[in-house]
Amino acid sequence: MKRLQKWSTSMIAVAAISFSIGCSLNAGALSTGNVQDEAAINRVVSEMTQGFNSHDAETATRMYTNDADFVSVRGEIAKGREEIRKGLAAILSTRARNASLDTRAVTIRFIRPDVAIVHVDNELRGLVNSEGQTLPAHRELSLRVFVKESGVWRVAAFQNTLTGPSQPSSMGKPSAAP
């Protein structure tokens, strides 16, 4: 009887240890990114902004996947890196030729270790209308879906939304990205 009780206690201990190890391994597998991944994504966001500000469509779009989806603040749709680059080049040579972008906030949420949803709050200044008149600065919030391919973070989807004028509303600060 004592032998059976000892065996039972041992098996329970082994099961508890195995369960604990399994849980910790699963927690690692469900990891939501790390400091290096966040830094890499922030560098990509910064590179996109720098490319826009230098009016270099190639630099501003080289991080897109070949099949990326893009929706502008005006609802214009582009499919694939090359189409996105051509569309941005056209804008940068016309109505955004003197424009500048200022990134105000970046929020990153990993939905898998190799997929992140990134909200970027920007202020855009210097756009001109079809008559050449400079438009007021405005705020934009973009949703960017990042994927990690062969160790490199790339943009698979981009959706931009106009959030309002650059000055705060009477309600105070614009709401933070979810």
Q: Give DSSP secondary structure letters for 110-143.
A: EEETTEEEEEEEEEEE--B-TTSPBPPPEEEEEE
CA dihedral 55, 49, 81, 116 (to 10 degrees): 180
Amino acid at site 93: S
Q: What span, in angstroms and rounded, lies between the C-alpha atoms of 139 and 169?
A: 11
Give residue limits of the domains in the chain: 33-165
Stated pTM of the model: 0.75
pLDDT of residue 164: 86
pLDDT (tens digit, 0 to 9) for every residue of the chain, 178 residues total? 555 455 444 444 434 444 443 443 334 444 457 999 999 999 999 999 999 999 999 999 999 999 999 999 999 999 999 999 999 999 999 999 999 999 999 999 999 999 999 999 999 999 999 899 999 999 999 999 999 999 999 999 999 999 988 654 444 444 444 3
Backbone angles phi and psi of 34, in degrees to 5:
-145, 180
Which CATH number is associated with domain 33-165? 3.10.450.50
